[in-house]
Structure 1
Amino acid sequence: MEGYTGKLMQNIIKRVLVIIFLALLITFALGKFSQAMLVGLLFGSTISILNFRLLALSVTKALEMSPGKAQIYASSRYLIRMVITGAVIVVSLKAPYISTIGTIVGLLSAKLAVMQMGLGGKDTV
């Protein structure tokens, strides 16, 4: 299972990097590029990848548990991931050197990568 998870993570990371690159190109084209946007995109996408990794670890571990324990474990891990995401958004709102829009796009990048894979992207794993 770890081999599959490792390949999946590599694929997601590659796709996230492409999404971030495209987002940067769009900001350049619209004349909205700034250092804060770059920091926001990097900050959000890094947390997005880490959250995706936490999800993969949680699912792998929950599969080894009884259904009742797995449900409690998965729910607690979901709450932890949401608290992390909320904290990242709060930090981006408070820090003037981090673009909140860039952070949100970065946070969505892993989800967009997974959706793209599900829509028939090459090299799904």
Structure 2
Amino acid sequence: MKVAFRLFNCHFFSKNVDEELKSDIVQHTGYTPVINFGKYLGANIAPGRTTRGKFNHIIGKIQNKLSGWKHQCLSFAGRLTLTKSVLSSIPYYHMQYAKLPKTICDEMEKIQRGFLWGDTDQTRKPHLINWE
């Protein structure tokens, strides 16, 4: 309830609005000016362009999932199943409300490809087929 109340009593101003006009509006309405709304239900609700920085947390989630899995203990079929079912499903929620930047998609694909073929930080194994 606090989050809804906080969002209800705040106002976002464009960067093109004059400071004097902002202060007049805030003074007369009692609203709180905000620069960034932050996240709501895991979704970044900040206005503006979709940039790589807004979606870096998806890359972090994928890497956190991978840190708990040991690819040496899994067969190729097991790694393929985990890649398709778990790692591919992480960004779906965010893809419903925003178009992800291509750099984020490329980074997710690179991480999945590396896990599937058994790459580590020290060594990169050859990928036996073309990924595309």
TM-score under structure 1 normalisation? 0.36
Query: Which structure has more strand as a fraction of its residues?
Result: 2
TM-score under structure 2 normalisation? 0.35
Query: Which structure has more helix as a fraction of its residues?
Result: 1
Higher-RCO chain (CA-CA 8 Å, sequence separation at least 6): 1
